[in-house]
Amino acid sequence: MASFAHEQLTMAVHRFGHGPVHLLAFHGFGRTGHDFALLSAPLKELCTIHAFDLPFHGGSPPLAQDEPVHPEAWAAFFVAYARQINARQVGLLGYSLGGRLALCLLERQPTLVDQAFLAAPDGLISRPWYRGLAHHRPGRWLYHHFINHPGATHATISTLHRLGLVDSRMHRFIMDRTATPQARALLHQVWTGFRLIEPRLDRVGRNLREQDIPVHLLLGLHDRVIKPAMGGRLRHAAPDQVHLHLLPTGHRMMNEATGTKVASLITAPHGPRPMTGP
C-alpha cells in the first residue's frame, strides 16, 4: 500500500487491476480503500482502481484538530495525484460517504473527470440537520458531548423507532455506527473534518451538462439510508448525463455484483479536455 501527500492532505492508497481507465475510489464511513478489492475482479482488465483510505480511516492520518478539509484543497489533491500517475482524466467511484467526496470533485474540478459511478452516495441532499450542526461551534460541542454521553440520544432514537417514525433498518444503522466510544469519536471526526464539503447539486449539474460527463447513480431498491427517490434532484439537474440504476440491494453495495454493473457501464478513456486549477 502506497501513500500520496499534497499540501495538508496525506492519504494511503490501494491499487487494484491494470486496465487503461484510472478510477479514483472513495469508501464509506468506517471502512477502508481495501473494500474495493471486492469489486475488482470484473474490473481488473478495464480499470486501474486507486482506492484511497480517507482521513481518519485505515492507513491515512487524521486531520489537524478542528481543521476541516476545504473543497479547494480536496480538488487540488486529486489534480496533483492525477499528474503523478500521468492521467489527464480519471473516473470516479464513490460509495456512501465517498459519494459525497466524489460529488465535490464534480463540483470543483469537472475537467479532471470523464465519468463517475456513485453507489448509494451521501450528498444527494445538501446539509441535512445532523451535518449542518457541524458548521456551528455549539453543534460541534454537542457532537463531542455525544461521544461520552450517548444515552439520551440513543433513547430518543429508540423512542422514535417504537413510534414508527424511524424504521428498523435505519434504527439498526444508526445504533451500529454509534455503539462504542470509538465509533462515536470517528463519527465526530468525520462530520467535523468534512463539514465544508457539501456539494451544491445545481453546480454539479451545470458542470455535468457543460462537460457532458456521464454519471451513473447506483441505488439499492431496499436502501433505507439513501433511498432511490433521493437521486431525483441530481438527475433533474442534468437529465441527459445522470443515469439511474436500481440494484436489488440495501445500503451495502460493496460486492462483486456492483463491480460487474460498473464494468458494464464503464467507457474507454476519451480524448483529453484541458485541465484547469481548482
Would you state the pLDDT for residue 50? 99
Q: How many Cα atoms within 13 Å fall on the side-chain side of residue 140?
A: 15
Would you state the pLDDT for residue 160? 76
pTM given for the model: 0.86
Would you state the pLDDT for residue 273? 43
Domain boundary assignment for the chain: 2-126+198-265, 129-193
pLDDT digits (tens, 9 = 90+) for 208-261: 999 999 999 999 999 988 999 999 999 999 999 999 999 999 999 999 999 999
Would you state the pLDDT for residue 274? 38
Residues of the chain with pLDDT under 70: 66, 126-147, 169-170, 270-278
Q: Which fold has domain 2-126+198-265?
A: Rossmann fold (3.40.50)
Would you state the pLDDT for residue 156? 77
Would you state the pLDDT for residue 171? 73
Would you state the pLDDT for residue 65? 72
pLDDT digits (tens, 9 = 90+) for 61-87: 998 776 899 999 999 999 999 999 999
